[in-house]
């Protein structure tokens, strides 16, 4: 490993100034960066530890509602936050899927996002909740929808001199629910072969007024499933409808075949996971979906 200078900025502006040299790497949990540096897969002249910056470390509930999750907050903190557990249980459950306990105690939600792995378990539930990303850089602060942040496997639309500060989850709408399910051969410590996150919001008559279906590990980035969403919109949730949405999601998926699973297998998994996640959303809203 090449020698580096370890920096520990206390403010976002200090971190942005340290990034200006172009030779720095941000360190939060280190669960990816440290092996990458040791194995020479990444080089850094400066390692910039952002865990001391209050805006990146904190999980807070702003007066206008919602929750703000600092990008350096670790998965255990996200899973254990009472505000997240109460209003965004799928986000807390997703954080518990990342690695094992040792990884959850270090790995940050921001790192899970910025690594931009198509399999990132932390991402689909956040996209389902219409998360916004707060980004800071030399030109100041900007905000973008989290789902637009991904550019490809391992690539984001955060520029080299910028950093992800926090994720804002807007207040959950009444009569809405989110669920994320993934499939792995092992129960824990494994990477999803496929995952599906679903969000539905019902109107007062019980028809689906709004929906988001987000697919993991079946495309270069976390994918929305537009034809599954069109199938659901304006309908009352029934078993045939949720199964049809699953089949549609499988056609929206753009999987590759690799050592973890074939493209065909991934499509079948997407159909099943999407239907199950939607069924769970209905259950959370007090609707029992009769399975034939």
Partner 1 sequence: MKTLITCTVNGEERTALADTRDTLLELLRDRLGLTGAKEGCGNGNCGTCTVLVDGAAVCSCLMLAQEAPGHDILTIEGVAQGGALHPIQQVLVERGGTQCGFCTPGIVLSAKALLDATAAPTDAEIRHAIAGNLCRCTGYGKIVEAIASAAVAMKGQ
Binding site for partner 1 (CB under 8 A): 1, 3-6, 27, 29-31, 34-35, 37-38, 47, 49, 51, 76, 99-103, 105-106, 187-189
User: Shortest approach of partner 1 to residue 76 CB, angstroms?
Assistant: 7
User: Shortest approach of partner 1 to residue 47 CB, angstroms?
Assistant: 7
User: Shortest approach of partner 1 to residue 199 CB, angstroms?
Assistant: 27
Strand order in the sheet with 163-169: 59-60, 67-70, 163-169, 132-137, 140-145
Which DSSP string do the residues of 203-271 spell out, in sequence order?
Answer: -TTSSEEEEEEEEESSSSS-EE-HHHHHHHTTPPP-HHHHHHHHHHHHHH-----BTTB-HHHHHHHHH
How far apart CA 145 and CA 37 sit, in angstroms, is 30
Residues 6+ apart with CB under 8 A from 139: none
Cβ distance to partner 1 smaller for residue 35 or 153: 35
Cβ distance to partner 1 smaller for residue 101 or 144: 101
How far apart CA 156 and CA 114 sit, in angstroms, is 7
Cβ distance to partner 1 smaller for residue 47 or 273: 47
Cβ distance to partner 1 smaller for residue 4 or 265: 4
| Cβ-based neighbour number of residue 76 at 10 Å | 18
Strand order in the sheet with 46-49: 5-7, 46-49, 24-27
User: Shortest approach of partner 1 to residue 287 CB, angstroms?
Assistant: 28
As a residue count, the chain comes to 292
User: Shortest approach of partner 1 to residue 263 CB, angstroms?
Assistant: 26
Cβ distance to partner 1 smaller for residue 82 or 102: 102
């Amino acid at each position: 490993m090449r020698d580096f200078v370890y920096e520990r900025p206390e403010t976002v502006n200090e971190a942005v100034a340290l990034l200006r040299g172009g030779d720095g790497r941000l360190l939060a949990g280190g669960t990816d960066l440290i092996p990458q540096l040791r194995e020479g897969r990444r080089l850094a002249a400066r390692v910039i530890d952002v865990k001391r910056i209050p805006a990146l470390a904190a999980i807070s509930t702003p007066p206008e509602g919602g929750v703000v999750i600092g990008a350096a907050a670790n998965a255990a903190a996200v899973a254990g936050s009472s505000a997240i557990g109460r209003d965004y249980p799928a986000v807390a459950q997703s954080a518990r899927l990342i690695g094992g306990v040792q990884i959850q105690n270090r790995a940050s939600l921001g790192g899970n996002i910025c690594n931009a792995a198509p399999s990132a378990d932390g991402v689909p539930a956040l996209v389902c909740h219409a998360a916004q990303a707060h980004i800071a850089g030399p030109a100041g602060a900007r905000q973008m929808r989290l789902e637009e942040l991904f550019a490809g496997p391992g690539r984001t639309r955060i520029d080299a001199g910028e950093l992800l500060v926090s994720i804002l989850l807007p207040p959950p709408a009444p009569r809405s629910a989110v669920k994320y399910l993934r499939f792995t051969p092992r129960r824990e410590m494994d990477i999803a072969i496929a995952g599906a996150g679903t969000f539905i919001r019902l109107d007062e008559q019980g028809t689906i007024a709004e929906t988001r279906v987000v697919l993991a590990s079946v495309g270069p980035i976390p994918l929305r499933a537009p034809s599954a969403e069109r199938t659901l919109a304006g309908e009352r949730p029934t078993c045939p409808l949720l199964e049809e949405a699953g089949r549609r999601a499988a056609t929206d998926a753009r999987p590759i075949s690799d050592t973890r699973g074939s493209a065909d297998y991934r499509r079948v998994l997407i159909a099943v996971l999407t239907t199950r996640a939607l069924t769970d959303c209905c259950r959370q809203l007090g609707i029992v979906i009769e399975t034939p």
